[in-house]
Chain A
């Protein structure tokens, strides 16, 4: 049995954001962190490992420096890493990204008892689409917004959060779950793990590794294979000066409510 976790290295949103001329993020020039929801996904996989002794494989698509993030995940307790990296993959939207990741996951191999974990969404693109699209392309069931996960043999029971409550869903492995922060508290790297992590294997899958997969076509990957393109990116306008409303009566309250409605705050 194994747990495969898809992880993304994202810009540290507390740092400076840089954008390329084509509207995509200039990832090389920004400080990076592990996408927060993905850390919950990793923790879910490591918990499964604690309970069942399963293998944990972490996979990411990104530039070569993303290997550093994979090493950190190995130091947390993952067993091996896969770095999907190649110029051909650059500029991918969620469709192209999920094509490539699904092909990589097929190469790692999804067996009958395996579970694929993803984060709900990445804090840079904020789409929450990649996990679901990977599940579709692997043709396995998916449960998103997982806030509690129980895996017993092939039976998977998940508490799936909704805006005003939750539902409990049962499915079978193999399946894909997208995780939210309510699911768990991610562990730290361990000191012993740090001194082991460079001994653990990290494989690089480039275009040549994946090109024989039917999902990988020139028109299904990278910027060219992306049905959507970023037309324009811009910084939202500053809010400007605040405005004080005078008075403590019903009219002022109504005026305040109208103003908040106008700005889509309520």
Chain B
């Protein structure tokens, strides 16, 4: 047992802190206000290898581990939930399933440009009628005689829609088999029959573009099938297990970032002749928040550690995401309170953090889904 970071992980934290302060924080309010995807940040993330942290160098990655990956998301999310979301969705939702299930040819063609950061990835599972019940897929992939597939249907709430170059999507190849009839495919943004529909206006993580994918007689050659035919549901579920670690790290970062801002403000803001940091009511709020954030951090690191060491992490990832998201929501709400009336204005970052925090309780499996997963693991099916 050892709670210390390795030397490399410490350097990673240092790099990410410097990067976040210099590159991410200055843009955070602007991209939120303008609902603008931060391309300039994404290019810099690429330049320094931050889009392929946990993937091997042989495939163009950085050769790091999942702990480093959660450190990067935490540090970015302290200042900007959007950037944390971009890092997480790219690496775990698009890169990882190709890394885990792709053929050597698919890895060379699709994964290498993703993890070296030349291309951005996205993940298309959710449909209007298949959210939490993700097995209720209505997008259909019909196999043709030459082995290719013709896909019709749509996806909603897709992080990176319209910005991404490469999409891992899911469609029914055998409707009679329910969730055992789902397959995964790799889609390129230029594939004929593929288009982007409505872009959502969201409460938070507004710099991360979220929208609809539309497939109209989109023909994909056989080599776009990811994994086995009808094996897509397992790919989706295992991908989300890992994705949850990223979202947990994002929630953790948002919470820590809000608390850091609140503590600094408490030392400056004077009421009744003294800084409000001297008020016991607020001190105890801070103590509780700091404790819960630390508990969330340990859950996040534990889940990432398990993944790094090939130890099952479905339960740990669900617990980390559930707990960190709820801590983020609670902490950001209280930090707005500590800022008083100023906290409710856009002059200060905490209202943005509170808006950003809410999505962490919903996407990549709601808090209710996490409880289903955890109880399934703890009680048994």
User: Which residues of A pack against B, CB within 8 Å?
Assistant: 68, 71-72, 75, 188-198
Contact = CB atoms under 8 A, between A and B. Distances in A.
B63 A189 contact: no
Contacts of A194: 8, 11-12, 15, 62, 64
B57 A191 contact: no
A192 B11 contact: no
Contacts of B19: 188
A198 B15 CA distance: 16
Nearest to A189: B15
Contacts of A72: 11, 14
Given A75-B15, A192-B62, 12 more contacts: A68-B7, A75-B11, A188-B19, A189-B15, A190-B47, A190-B48, A191-B63, A191-B68, A195-B8, A195-B63, A197-B11, A198-B8
A113 B259 CA distance: 53
Contacts of A68: 7
Contacts of A193: 49
Nearest to B22: A188
A195 B62 contact: yes
Contacts of A71: 7, 11
A195 B8 CA distance: 6
Given A194-B64, A195-B62, A188 B11 contact: no
Most chain A CB atoms below 10 A, which of B12, B49, B52, B68:
B49
Contacts of A188: 15, 18-19, 48
A189 B61 CA distance: 15
12 contacts: A71-B7, A189-B14, A190-B48, A191-B15, A191-B53, A191-B63, A192-B61, A194-B11, A194-B64, A195-B62, A195-B63, A195-B64
A15 to B, nearest CB: 15
Given A71-B7, A71-B11, A191 B62 contact: yes
Interface string B21-48: 0000000000000000000000000011
Interface of B: 7-8, 11-12, 14-15, 18-19, 47-50, 52-53, 57, 61-64, 68, 72
Contacts of B15: 75, 188-189, 191, 194
A198 B50 CA distance: 19
B62 A189 contact: no
Contact of A192 (B14, B18, B57, B72): B57
Q: Is the interface of B mostly helix, strand, loop or mixed?
A: helix
Contacts of B8: 194-195, 197-198
A72 B15 CA distance: 9
Contacts of B11: 71-72, 75, 189, 194, 197
Nearest to B45: A191
- What are the 9 A-B residue pairs with the smallest beta carbon separation, nearest first? A191-B49, A191-B62, A195-B63, A192-B62, A192-B49, A189-B15, A194-B11, A190-B48, A190-B49
A83 to B, nearest CB: 16
Nearest to A195: B63
A214 B48 CA distance: 43
Nearest to B61: A192
Contacts of A192: 49, 57, 61-63
A194 B13 CA distance: 11
A195 B48 CA distance: 12
Contacts of A75: 11, 15
B381 to A, nearest CB: 39
Most chain A CB atoms below 10 A, which of B15, B47, B50:
B15
Nearest to B23: A188
A190 B7 contact: no
A54 to B, nearest CB: 21
A245 to B, nearest CB: 27
Nearest to B50: A191
B7 A198 contact: yes
A72 B17 CA distance: 14
A214 B63 CA distance: 45
A191 B48 contact: yes
A198 B9 CA distance: 12
A190 B72 CA distance: 12
Nearest to B15: A189
Nearest to A68: B7
A68 to B, nearest CB: 8
B375 to A, nearest CB: 37
Nearest to A72: B11
A197 B53 CA distance: 15
Contacts of A189: 11, 14-15, 48
A72 to B, nearest CB: 6
B42 to A, nearest CB: 15
Contacts of B49: 190-193
A164 B101 CA distance: 63
Contacts of B63: 191-192, 195-196
A191 B15 CA distance: 8
Most chain A CB atoms below 10 A, which of B11, B12, B19, B48:
B11
B86 to A, nearest CB: 16
Contacts of B53: 191
Most chain B CB atoms below 10 A, which of A75, A189, A192, A194:
A194
A71 B6 CA distance: 14
Contacts of B47: 190
Contacts of B7: 68, 71, 198
Contacts of B50: 191
A12 B93 CA distance: 40
Contact of B62 (A190, A197, A198): A190
A85 B137 CA distance: 65
Contacts of B18: 188
Most chain B CB atoms below 10 A, which of A68, A72, A188, A193:
A188
Contact of B12 (A191, A196, A198): A191
Most chain B CB atoms below 10 A, which of A191, A195, A196:
A191
Contacts of B68: 191
